[in-house]
Structure 1
Amino acid sequence: MTENTDDRVWVINTITVQPGKAQIVADLQVELVDEVKKDWPGFISQHTLIALDGSHVATVEAWADFATLKAIVEDERLLEYRARIAEHATLAPVPYKVVGDTTAAE
């Protein structure tokens, strides 16, 4: 395991969805990335996942630093998407920093 020394911030967003709404919420998350996040300075990546039982959608986002993340959360377009998603789900984003990284031995 190696220690992380950069300023990168990860956001894990566990989204509890209404029954039958997982694909709608996942599609809105992907659209949000395509329309707003991907061109935002400091955005690195986002993975969008649907729980096998369809009860949750999760996103794992990487940002260059906390200041970048803080700036986008006030963007009107992001707030509009969050409101659309909230019609079908409850969002719970939490920012993290990496304290270690382990990969499988080859």
Structure 2
Amino acid sequence: MLTDYKMLEIAKKYIKLNEEEINIELIIVEQLTIIKPYGNIYSYGPKDPKYRLAGNGPFLVKNDTGIVIPFGTAMDVDYYIKGYEDGTWKPASYGVWDPNHN
């Protein structure tokens, strides 16, 4: 099992990849972190509030593997959490990021 510290480090690496693509500094909004038995769900946004982002939905860092699973933005985060937990929502395979293979 990964510690909260290690999962946060993975989350920061993940948003760093996004940051490099869009050339806007991003931050994890730590007070919005949702802790679940299977991992932590992080939210992020631009460090500078003058920027607005689209498509920056929350994401899960699994505590058994470190794999990052982005949730969508069309629905509230609770929709994705419920769907993930009951198996009715599946992430797109192209969106899953494995920090162990990058």
TM-score grouping bracket, smaller chain normalisation: 0.3 to 0.5
- Normalization by structure 2: what TM-score? 0.35
Structure with greater proportional strand content: 1
The structure with the largest helix share of the pair is 2
Please give the TM-score of this superposition, normalised by the length of structure 1: 0.34
Question: Which has the greater radius of gyration?
Answer: 1
Higher relative contact order (Cα pairs below 8 Å, separated by 6+ residues): 1
